[in-house]
Amino acid sequence: MNPPVEVVLRSAELEVVLLPEIGGRLHRLRAFGHDLLRTPEDPATHRDDPFFWGAYVMAPWCNRIRPGPVEVAGRIVDLPPNFDDGSAIHGQVAARPWMVETDGTLRTDGGADGWPWAFEVTCHPSLDGPALTLDYRLTNRADGPMPAGIGLHPWFRRPVEVGVPAATVYPANTDSPSAPEPVSGPLDLRSRQQLAPDLDASWASLAKPRIDLAWKELGLTARIEFEGDRLLVAAASPADIDAVAVEPQTHGPDGLRRLLRGEPDALTMLQPGASLALTLRLTATLARVLR
């Protein structure tokens, strides 16, 4: 099999490598000469292990959905499980081929495989010095309303401190409670800290839509600012992986269940032709002179 096509963006501060043939994902994000993402030596590794490397788009839902048939807006959703916990996780486009258009926008079409709506996802990446902007759009191409969510799932290399200015949290992304609870202890990320081992939770009630990251050993910091509707941040810190996932997204865990039960932070119902937007801007800063 041929090596995957790479789309490369460079500035004096950043190097960004995207793989349009494998989910339009970020393979590499290098700031001031240092890799911030969990990047495999061989880009083709993303094909065999699409969930645990780089940074990939989650759409038309994020996080987990329970598999099996359920009626939504007059159609049957019947998603097969694709994760070892038996859930349908992270949408349908993480490994799907994307096209590169003449203006540099990446685009893919989706639907079927148990999701009874056609949809389109686009990403327009741009680089301005130390700032990377990723402008995502999820568009309903079906002839009826579609539940929708979109997010980005980056794996940031450890050791890294994480800050999320959120007042409430869903303490678990599996069997999540119907409503979030006030943050406390290791789930209080209003002051930047390393994530506790095996944490897997989602933060809501953001004072500001942002994520702060710091690699103290490298003298590097980064801030992710994002815009969209119903913004949350999911995070996971599996003990057996040398990275943590910190994921801006547009709904809470088990978003389809939330929609059907009228719970907060549910998937958004998109009318035909309507789009759900998520724009991310990551700015890296060299905190001190490296010697």
Predicted confidence pLDDT, tens digits, the chain (291 residues)? 788 999 999 999 999 999 999 999 999 999 999 999 999 999 999 999 999 999 999 999 999 999 989 999 999 999 999 998 999 999 999 999 999 999 999 999 999 999 999 999 999 999 999 999 999 999 999 999 999 999 999 999 999 999 999 999 999 999 999 999 999 999 999 999 999 999 999 999 999 999 999 999 999 999 999 999 889 999 999 999 999 999 999 999 999 999 999 999 999 999 999 999 999 999 999 986 433
Q: How many residues does the chain have?
A: 291
On whether the CB atoms of residues 176 and 266 are closer than 8 A, the answer is: no
User: Do 26 and 55 contact (CB within 8 A), yes or no?
Assistant: yes
Could you tell me the two tokens for 168? 């409430």
CA–CA dist 116, 217 (Å, integer): 48
Domains in the chain: ranges and CATH: 7-286 (2.70.98.10)
How many Cβ atoms sit within 10 Å of the Cβ of residue 257? 18
Q: Do 104 and 124 touch, CB atoms closer than 8 A?
A: yes
- Annotate 190-257 with DSSP letters as a single string: SS-BPPPTT-EEEEEEESSSEEEEEEGGGTEEEEEEEEESS-EEEEE--TTSSEEEEEEESS-SSHHH
Look at residues 261, 39, 59, 84 and name the one whose alpha carbon lies nearest to residue 150. Answer: 59
**SS3 of residue 186 by DSSP:** helix
Scanning the chain, the segments in alpha helix (DSSP H) are 45-48, 255-261
Residue with tokens 């926008």: 105
